[in-house]
Amino acid sequence: MSLSSARCTALRYLASHTVPFLLDQVTDRRLTVLTRILEWVARTEHHKAQIAYLRQMIEDQHPSIEIARRMLSLHPNARRAVINSLGINATWLGDSERKAFGAAHGVDPPFLIVISPTMRCNLRCLGCYAGEYPRGPDPLSFEVLDRIVCEGKEMGVYFYTISGGEPFMRPDLLDLYDKHQDCVFLIYTNGTCIDDNTVARLQACGNTAPSVSLEGWEAQTDSRRGKGVYRRVMDTMDALREAGILFGFSATATRINAQVYFDDAFYDHMVEKGCLFGWFFMFVPVGQDSTTDLMITPGQRDRLRETVSRVRREKPIFVADFWNDGCLTGGCMSGGTLYMHVNYRGELEPCVFMHFAEENIVDIYKRGGHLWDVLDTPLFRRVRGVNRRDPNPLRPCPIIDHNEWLEEALAGANAHPTHPGAEDIVGRLAPQVRTWAAEYGKLADHAWYHSGQYGWAQRGDDPLWGHQDRRQASAGGP
């Protein structure tokens, strides 16, 4: 047996025997022992560095370690999925499988796949990025969704994000989660369709992580989502916490509500409600008749960037911002670089905010193709070709940070808008977006090159999410 095979076997044994024993009582000593075992079976130097850094955090009593303690106090089904499906399959073994697939097929698979199985929703939120899609019957059958996950696993993809629409309006998705216990499913939900039976099913599956949407406090949430929604969301969080289900929050930052997210009280409340993670989005004007009026100002974005980074260092909750945390992912994730989107009709989009497509998964299957065929299409290749040109990862987005790059990518591809008005982002709205980007670019360049906050990312010596570093950035720049 090769060393690689031995490590795979060790990982499987670790997941089924050693880990449950070590975590029966969550103590710092047992967590430290676990890191040493994990470091031995890790398959790459990067993973070894992550684990060694985690052990140092435990020894230093870093505030983030409380996240691990909270996570390991979840229901046993959820705890098992975090270790097996997320830690071992999606991250460690999946990494090797994706590299092997890329070597064999000439195109690297993404880390995760986003699927929007439905556009049906019981709410009508102002400015929703998905709000311009029709809300009729769901074109994608369970069989097609199942095949997407099966083929994803052939590529080494074990992480799936379920978006919409409101996913819990499709009860058959619970069967999908249950069938693929070797995967983890992050589910974006408005939180109003999760009843007691649904909570029981999620607890039984264990491998799901609802991300419950809100807009800040009650006034902001109800203003955008409807009266009484905030209270229903709080009730849903209570039910998920009591059931020991891994969950978090998702929030869209707009010009109206951004100030809420600068306040520690918001994060303390999310921790109290039981959230272990939180995802931030910025409002992006990609719908028909959209305007830039709701976009956060460049100054607000810069302050949110700094706040999220600080919260990660100080609070027992993992928070990330998909625009301001490009240093955690190496830049933009779209076009199959790290993720791709299957919309409710099966159209394959480079990003959930990039509403253009060349291919439809249903058509690909009809002609005998596979999910991974889309990775080699002109649209996906061209998006990957432009989405990491800026050396400053705090400006990663080809939609709002470098809008001209999206226009360039589309010009060389045979892509069509996936709903009326999608083309406005590189047409009618482009001058406003580009002016906004230029203003933010000055703040982002100062933060990256001159603030000293990102020395850890520039040196690559902090393989997890970083710590404050006040040394002047050594990299050159504006």
In tens, the pLDDT along 220-247 reads 998 888 899 999 999 999 999 999 999 9
**Do 168 and 44 have their domain in common?**
no
Cα 413 versus chain centre, distance:
26
Domain boundary at 61, 85, 111, which?
Answer: 61
Query: What whole-number distance in Å separates Cα of residue 306 and Cα of residue 328?
Result: 14
pTM greater than 0.75: yes
The Cβ of residue 166 has, within 10 Å, a number of other Cβ atoms equal to 22
- DSSP assignments along 397-427, one per residue: -TTTTSHHHHHHHHHTS--EESSTTGGGGGT
- For residues 323-352, b (16+ Cβ closer than 10 Å) or e, as one string? bbbbbbbebbbbbbbbbbbbbbbbbbbbbb
**Do 33 and 104 have their domain in common?**
no
The Cβ of residue 228 has, within 10 Å, a number of other Cβ atoms equal to 12
User: pLDDT at position 472, please?
Assistant: 32
Give the contacts of 451 (CB within 8 A, at least 6 positions apart).
473
Domain interval for residue 232: 99-329
Read off the pLDDT of each residue in 292-315 and give the average, rounded to a whole number: 95
Does a structural domain hold residue 266? yes
Give the contacts of 428 (CB within 8 A, at least 6 positions apart).
none
pLDDT band at 69 (very low <50, low <70, confident <90, very high): confident
Does a structural domain hold residue 378? no
pLDDT band at 51 (very low <50, low <70, confident <90, very high): confident
User: pLDDT at position 46, please?
Assistant: 64
The percentage of residues in the chain with a pLDDT greater than 70, rounded to a whole number, is: 86
**pLDDT higher than threshold 60 for residue 275:** yes
Give tens-digit pLDDT for 17-30.
Answer: 555 555 556 677 77
Give tens-digit pLDDT for 38-47.
Answer: 777 666 676 6
**Do 121 and 268 have their domain in common?**
yes
- How many Cα neighbours within 13 Å face the side chain of 254? 21
**Do 323 and 227 have their domain in common?**
yes
Question: What does DSSP assign to residue 209?
Answer: E
User: pLDDT at position 60, please?
Assistant: 79
Domain boundary at 302, 329, 356, which?
Answer: 329
- How many Cα neighbours within 13 Å face the side chain of 17? 7
**Do 170 and 120 have their domain in common?**
yes
**Do 199 and 51 have their domain in common?**
no
**Do 168 and 35 have their domain in common?**
no
More confident residue, 370 or 14: 370
Maximum alpha-carbon separation in the chain: 62
We report the CATH number of the domain holding residue 200 as 3.20.20.70
- Residue 128 burial by CB count (10 A; 0-12/13-18/19+): exposed, middle or buried? buried
Domain boundary at 286, 303, 329, which?
Answer: 329
- Please give the tally of structural domains in the chain: 2
Give tens-digit pLDDT for 333-376.
Answer: 999 999 999 999 999 999 999 999 999 999 999 999 999 999 99
Closest-CA residue to 164 (of 127, 138, 195): 138
Does a structural domain hold residue 250? yes
Does a structural domain hold residue 30? yes
**Do 46 and 183 have their domain in common?**
no
Read off the pLDDT of each residue in 65-86 and give the average, rounded to a whole number: 87
Does a structural domain hold residue 83? no
